[in-house]
Amino acid sequence: MFNDFYAKDTSKKVRAIKRAQGQAGEHLTKPPYGYMVSPADKKLWIVDEEAAAVVKRIFDLCIGGKGPMQIAKILKEDKVPTAKAYYAEKKGKALPENPYNWKDSSIVGILERMDYCGHTVNFKSYSKSHKLKKRIPTTKEQQAIFYNTHEAIVEDAVFERIQELRANKRRPTKADRQGLFSGLVYCAD
């Protein structure tokens, strides 16, 4: 009983501190692929040039009309290490089993991350309780966005254009035509 109260009380205090830090514009997460923590100031992100080149390439391929699966395939064929493999190699740890096996979900995560424009986005998700590990995504209105907090890898205009392209992207049918109800009707499951 007392242990549960203590855990709940500690959780509330940690949440309050994190909320204050987030509302002040501090980063609440580890830096994304393409950035690293500044050795001079642990609260700042600086560009990791080697990984940033891969991020730029992903955005360029998407602007060029490639989808996440196609981009993942290109990176795999070119033997570009995944983010996990890159960090393992950098830290001198054992490489994952398939160090070049990019997933389309990883590409989507990179393409949708506003941090690459040099902006900090806090409160993207939350958990209802300290006992529950499941993260619940927040709406855009609930997020706190702080502009120009670190060096950008991708320009705002490029990022916005990609969001437009991805929002309007519809998968063609086998006959290479778009379905009549594409983007309007969705499966119930």
> What span, in angstroms and rounded, lies between the C-alpha atoms of 84 and 97?
11
Amino acid 187: pLDDT: 66
Q: What pLDDT score was predicted for residue 53?
A: 98
How far is Cα of residue 86 from the mean position of the Cα atoms in its chain?
A: 16
Q: Provide CB contacts within 8 A for 112, sequence distance 6+.
A: 163, 166
CB 138, CB 123: distance < 8 Å: yes
Is 8-168 a CATH 3.90.1750.20 domain?
yes
Residue 142 · residue 23 · CB < 8 Å: no
pLDDT of 156-179, one tens digit each? 999 999 999 998 876 655 555 666
What is this structure's pTM? Answer: 0.80
Q: What is the DSSP string of 120-162?
A: EEE-SEE-SSTT----EEPPGGGSEEESSSS--SS-HHHHHHH
What's the mean pLDDT in 8-27? 79
Least confident of 42-46, 56-60, 138-142: 138-142
d(C-alpha 72, C-alpha 105), whole Å: 9
